[in-house]
Structure 1
Amino acid sequence: MWAMVTLDGLTVTYRDRPTLHGVSGSFAPGSLTAVVGPNGAGKSTLLKSILSLLPIAQGSLQVHTPRSRIAYLPQQSAIDRSFPITVHDCVLLGAWQAAGALGGLSNAVLDEADAALHTVGLCGFAQRPISALSAGQFQRVLFARLLLQDADLILLDEPFNAIDSKTTAELLALVADWHARQRTVIAVLHDHSQVHQHFPQTLLLARGVVAWGDTAEVLTPQHLGQARLLGESWDDHLHAA
């Protein structure tokens, strides 16, 4: 089977230190994969590398779909919510690839934006400024934007962090629907019980690959202990420095 994303000895550095080192493997088309690991393991770095937002120091990374067919949800902390934009306009940003810088938006696209807001449970919120939303409501807006992008490859960086359980459950249902529609989804997560319940594949990172495959075989006490020890060794190195 061909791969959606292929990594071969991928090494990415930050301030002359490797944040990812020698990562090899592939994400199959239509796969649903959680990326887990200790803080500083390179999880967000992996997503940004797939997007070509970070330079590769060694090895290679190939993405077998056009950039226009990739959707990315960054961590909420990376988004400036003070920008004066309405919920509806924020969702419509998901259609910019189709419209272009100077292109107009068709009635069909406007209807799709309304439908996406309905899907995420935000009917009646279209004209509210995003600055007035709760964290959970804003995350629903970002998922509606992803729906409008209709991408082949979807990258989610901590999509359920600091949001309520009801919103999390409803957004997980959207992720399951993408998986059923054979979208490739890669999500950085911290909640291992959530991973066990909803993500059939898991990549356990600790700057390098600790384990990668079926979730039940990856999230074992042995593998998690190995990743934890690696994370502690980074902390010890920083304190020594």
Structure 2
Amino acid sequence: MVAVRLGHPMSLVLEDVTLGYNRHPAVHHITATIPDGSLMAIVGPNGAGKSTLLKAIAGELRPITGRITNSAGRSGTAYMPQIAEIDRSFPISVREVVAMGLWRRIGPFRRLGEAERQAVADAIAGVGLTGLEARPISTLSGGQMQRVLFARLALQDASLILLDEPFTGVDSRTVEDLLDVIDGWHRDGRTVLAVLHDLDEVRRRFPEAMLLARDLIAHGPTETVLTAAQLTKARAVGEALDETAPLCQRAA
């Protein structure tokens, strides 16, 4: 279990949570408590339910069973899906995408004031894209697009940040720059959960980890979760999954 940090309320509690689509389970009976201010990587084999879990925490998927308690609420939660789910053909600029991070504060129709324009400029500078403010997003590289999305997240000022495979198809320099942005969020006291595949990266930059294989294999300090034995168990559980199984029943 993740140790409770004294003085911090619980930001996220999963109680016997089963998730799935059309009553077919993708995540089974997960119980975990993630304290406020955690920096946690969610890892596991393909099809382990990692993205499904993030969608449920973000409020986009209702649990089949169990309960998710998110003290940040939907207004205090920022969720970045996989980049493949984002339509980049829409004619919109870098500045306009980043400014969307202010919608919760100013609404979709109010014009940006001087303070808001400066906040947008600062967010763009914070991810290293100064000078590209007017560029259409359809012309950006994968790494540049991820920087734009990180800048938009920064402006949402959320206390819980959910990142689904944020470094897929991104060059190594951008990965390091964005990891530094995540570190800054963590220092600010925000809770960050990120679905990642690079275990060396997780060991190097994420103090906590959750290992999924539809079931919760382990969660807690990264060095105790990403052991050879735990990873072997996750791989074995993943290979034994029955994709045609009905809604699971908890064993007696």
TM-score by length of 2: 0.92
Whole-Å separation in 2 of the counterparts to 1:100 and 1:150: 15
Whole-Å separation in 2 of the counterparts to 1:239 and 1:191: 29
* Equivalent residue number for residue 163 of structure 1: 170
Contact 2:58 2:162 in 1 (8 A): no
**How far did residue 2 of structure 1 move?**
2.4
CA deviation map 1:166-187 (0-9, x unaligned) = 0000000011111111100000
Report the structure, 1 or 2, having the larger helix content.
1
Whole-Å separation in 1 of the counterparts to 2:117 and 2:159: 21
TM-score by length of 1: 0.96
* Equivalent residue number for residue 177 of structure 1: 184
CA deviation map 1:27-82 (0-9, x unaligned) = 11011000001111110111110111112110100100132211111110000000
Corresponding position: 1:208 with 2:210 = no
Instruction: Write out aligned runs for 1:187-202 (5 A).
Output: 187-202=194-209
Aligned length: 238
CA deviation map 1:63-120 (0-9, x unaligned) = 0013221111111000000011000000001001011133332211111111111111
* Equivalent residue number for residue 69 of structure 1: 76
CA deviation map 1:8-39 (0-9, x unaligned) = 00011223321111000111101100000111
* Equivalent residue number for residue 220 of structure 1: 227
Following TM superposition, the consecutive aligned residue runs of length 4 or more in structure 1 with deviations greater than 6 angstroms are none
Please give the secondary structure, in 1, of the residue aligned with 2:240.
helix
| Among 45, 51, 58, the residue aligned to 1:51 | 58
Corresponding position: 1:35 with 2:62 = no
* Equivalent residue number for residue 15 of structure 1: 22
Q: Which runs of 5+ in 1 are unaligned?
A: none
Whole-Å separation in 2 of the counterparts to 1:186 and 1:194: 14
Q: Partner letter of residue 235 of structure 2?
A: R
Corresponding position: 1:24 with 2:24 = no
Q: Partner letter of residue 214 of structure 1?
A: P
Q: Which runs of 5+ in 2 are unaligned?
A: 1-7, 246-252
Contact 2:45 2:235 in 1 (8 A): yes
* Equivalent residue number for residue 5 of structure 2: none
Q: Partner letter of residue 175 of structure 1?
A: I
Q: Partner letter of residue 76 of structure 1?
A: I
| Among 147, 150, 153, the residue aligned to 1:146 | 153
Contact 2:55 2:61 in 1 (8 A): yes
**How far did residue 238 of structure 1 move?**
4.6
Once the two structures are overlaid, the 10-residue window that deviates more, 170-179 or 61-70, is 61-70
| Among 108, 113, 118, the residue aligned to 1:101 | 108
Contact 2:15 2:31 in 1 (8 A): yes
Whole-Å separation in 2 of the counterparts to 1:112 and 1:223: 44
Contact 2:23 2:64 in 1 (8 A): no
- Percentage identity across paired residues of the two chains: 47
